[in-house]
Amino acid sequence: MRVLILGGDGYLGWPTAMTFSKKDHEVMVVDNYLRRDLARKHDVEPLWSVPNLLERVRTWHEITGHTIRARIGDCCEYSFLAPIFKEFQPEAVIHYAEQPSAPYSMLNHEAARITLNNNLQSTMNIAWAIHEHVPTCHIVKLGTMGVYGTPNIDIEEGWIDIEHKGRKDRFLFPRQASSFYHTTKIQDTDMLWFYVRTWGIRVTDLQQGPVYGIETDDTILDDRLKTIFSYDEIFGTVLNRFVVQAVSGYPLTVYGKGGQTRGYINIKDTIRCVELAMLNSPKAGRLNIFNQVTETFSVNELADKVARVGRDRGHHVEVKNIKNPRIEKEEHYYNPTYSGLKELGLEPHLLTDDVLNSMFEGVEKYKQNIQQHKIFRGVKW
Amino acid sequence: MRVLILGGDGYLGWPTAMTFSKKDHEVMVVDNYLRRDLARKHDVEPLWSVPNLLERVRTWHEITGHTIRARIGDCCEYSFLAPIFKEFQPEAVIHYAEQPSAPYSMLNHEAARITLNNNLQSTMNIAWAIHEHVPTCHIVKLGTMGVYGTPNIDIEEGWIDIEHKGRKDRFLFPRQASSFYHTTKIQDTDMLWFYVRTWGIRVTDLQQGPVYGIETDDTILDDRLKTIFSYDEIFGTVLNRFVVQAVSGYPLTVYGKGGQTRGYINIKDTIRCVELAMLNSPKAGRLNIFNQVTETFSVNELADKVARVGRDRGHHVEVKNIKNPRIEKEEHYYNPTYSGLKELGLEPHLLTDDVLNSMFEGVEKYKQNIQQHKIFRGVKW
């Protein structure tokens, strides 16, 4: 397939591009380096630096013989994005091109403005480019489990049948998120669902939980092919960050009571889920939604796992409950459904001790790069 | 009260400003003339021209002795908007400052971009300005009944209790709109609801139906105080447009079968509803939602009423069903609740023959201004 990967320079975008390229899809990546720029600006660069996207695709070609095309530019600029759709005629577009951090979106007005504009304008532009230039192209958009928040009812995969005063209808599952970033992901789903109904486009929305992991089958081929790995509170997801904290002797910081429960997923499974979604395009005028997680843990459970494996490896690991800097429930009901992607063929990589040990190994090699001041920046909401 | 009216130059904003000013509220209006600019650009100016906003407030002072302050600028520019909140310290802000037309939002990519950016950036900026400069200020935001679409269940006032697999929770009522404009109104509610929960701000969201009418108690004081009156398919609401079509001998164009049913409201009631909402601020951290309509009609019923009254006044009025240029249901269940504002004191002006006759009188005086080519511009979706 011809696959356009927007946000192809990111933590997930780059490994996705390599995997699809190796499977003989015709891949083009697009990125404007927003995430790199924001990380540098806020002094929270990843644990190791990676070459720029054009260098990465050259390295990929040198090592595997496969070609990934790359364009550097901003998906919020329709005059940049539309011609790419027109010329490349993608059969699928993987939309990772959003500002992905909840804490970043809560930093200040400017950060909120960038999040809102980036996440909604990029999504709108994709819908329009498809409508105008390649109407059968399938949008696979990365969403987040965070859109659902922590409702007191079971979380279904995107939809719910409501019976009310003796009548029935089917609706998007109710969503109320706990950060501005997550709210923009509610908004982009509403936008795509509107264009799906109105124009008959095809969309799959993947409501993903926090991703963890360092390596995929392709990132290990050469150090220059590694994906980024953030360990700060702004761009680092919780499990990745905990491993770095354990390795560097920084206490594992549990917010409040630590009963916050979420669904998690290994980076390898993310890429497989995106592939499965892409290969199973909905019909015209349909929006598929999958909950993209493989198991759920409370923050306390994650901290305990990391502490235990860390101590076994000789690290001195403390777990410390700190005052919660966020507005969120610390104890709540949480029962999400996540069977759709397994029905399509996903075989989950669960969070075993082996997986944790390999994450520790990956981080230990770069221990000298860890800068403890980057771990917490005091973002509050 | 100190009241800031954003979008104070508009069809509803200007009469609201006069009414509140006459009741001795301290009123400041803000507008960037976006609606005027768009109407001129698309050759769909209102039935009569009105003075600019600074002239209007001078006239208001000259005639009534009351003072309305005015600022010309863009609510999407935080560096313009925030200092206004900081200096004026409003107790309430009435947020009319959104691009208000569904057909405009469907015109082309640029119009969609303007709608998205204007409607969400202005709303985000208001929330931030309040958070940073006047945290107790009450936001009264104009929404639309269109956010609900035409669900197969009764429409409640903003909220619904859902029982699902033996557990219960309360959520925003499900929304799925039939234009991009209406979708941005779903998105702005989600955004405000997030900031309400997170920052403890106070918001009332008024889900309003299409407004009709020409005059309020203040617009009739002097021709220079009239509000605008649009009669084109982009900015003209259906009943206002039908009256103009009847006066000018242009058939009343019913889209498809004409069973599309909506809630409607007289402009006088809009202003009263906004006042009642403003005077009944929710507590910190609460979002009030009211459905701001007074009765429901199908398009066929509206056309029949206008045709009958028009013929009685000697106009030759035809009703013509045309191919529906929109994607919408032409026959559907529709049963919205709208009791909240009446409980606060609203005494509705219903759509009587007297009301229709006074609308005809208002339009007949300007019959020579009607340009039939402005009525339909062929916007389709």
Which of B147, B194, B197, B333 has the highest number of chain A CBs within 10 A, making it the mutation to test binding with A?
B194
**Contact status of B77 with chain A (Cβ, < 8 Å):** no
pLDDT score of A328:
94
Interface residue A372 vs chain B (CB under 8 A):
no
Q: Which residues contact B258 (CB under 8 A, 6 or more apart)?
A: B298, B299, B300, B303, B321, B330
Model pLDDT, residue B214: 98
Asked if B109 has any chain A CB less than 8 Å from its own CB, the reply is yes
Nearest C-alpha in A relative to B191: A183
Q: Is B194 on the interface with A (CB under 8 A)?
A: yes
pLDDT confidence of residue B217: 97
Count of alpha carbons within 13 angstroms of residue A274, beta-carbon side: 30
Give the type of residue at B365: K
Residue A377 predicted with pLDDT over 90: no
A209: tokens are 């939980």
Q: Vertex A345, ends A339 and A348: CA angle to 5°?
A: 70
The partner residue sitting opposite B116, judged by closest CB among A124, A154, A169, is A124
A153/B172 touch (CB, cutoff 8 Å), yes or no: no
Give chain B positions within 8 Å (CB) of A177: 194
Using the predicted structure, report yes or no on whether residue B296 has a pLDDT greater than 90: yes
Asked if the Cβ–Cβ distance from A160 to B164 is below 8 Å, we say: yes
pLDDT of amino acid B191: 98
- Active-site entry in A123, A141, A183, A185: A185
Cα angle, residue A135 at apex, residues A131 and A141 outer, rounded to 5°: 80
**How buried is B84 (Cβ within 10 angstroms: 0-12 exposed, 13-18 middle, 19+ buried)?**
buried
Residues of chain A positioned with their CB less than 8 A from the CB of B120: 116, 120, 187
Categorize the per-residue pLDDT at B377 as very low, low, confident or very high, splitting at 50, 70 and 90: confident
Amino acid B285: pLDDT = 97
With CB atoms and an 8 Å threshold, state whether A191 touches B187.
Answer: yes
Average pLDDT on B350-369 reads 98
Distance CA B85, CA A248 (A): 46
Nearest to B78 among A109, A165, A193 (CB): A109
Cβ contact, residue pair B153, A168, below 8 Å: yes
Q: Is A191 at the interface with chain B, CB within 8 A? A: yes
Q: What is the pLDDT of residue B171?
A: 98
Least CB–CB distance from A121: residue in B116, B168, B186: B116
Predicted confidence (pLDDT) per residue in B16-66, tens digit: 999 999 999 999 999 999 999 999 999 999 999 999 999 999 999 999 999
**Interval B172-198: pLDDT, tens:** 999 999 999 999 999 999 999 999 999
Catalytic residue among A11, A96, A148, A181: A181
Catalytic residue list of B: 144, 181, 185
Kindly state the DSSP code that residue B186 receives in the 8-state scheme: H
Mean pLDDT computed over B191-218: 98
Work out the burial of residue A287: count CB atoms within 10 Å of its CB; fewer than 13 is exposed, 13-18 middle, 19 or more buried: buried
B79 in contact with A at a CB cutoff of 8 Å?
no
User: CA A23, CA A20: separation in Å to the nearest integer?
Assistant: 5
CB < 8 Å to B113, chain A = 78, 121, 124
What is the β-pairing status of strands A138-144 and A92-95? parallel
pLDDT digits (tens, 9 = 90+) for A177-221: 999 999 999 999 999 999 999 999 999 999 999 999 999 999 999
DSSP letter, residue A165: T
Is the predicted pLDDT of residue A378 greater than 90, yes or no? no
pLDDT exceeds cutoff 90 at B238? yes
**Whether the predicted model's global pTM rises above the 0.95 cut:** yes
Catalytic residue check, A204: no
- Indicate the residue of A128, A132, A162 with minimum beta-carbon distance to B174: A162
Select from A192, A215, A190 the least CA-distant residue to A203. A192
> What does the pLDDT read at residue A174?
98
ipTM over 0.90: yes
**Mean pLDDT of the region B82-103:** 98
Tokens 């777990």 map to which residue?
A: A319
257-296 of A, contacting B, C-beta below 8 A: none
Q: Which residues contact B249 (CB under 8 A, 6 or more apart)?
A: B315, B316
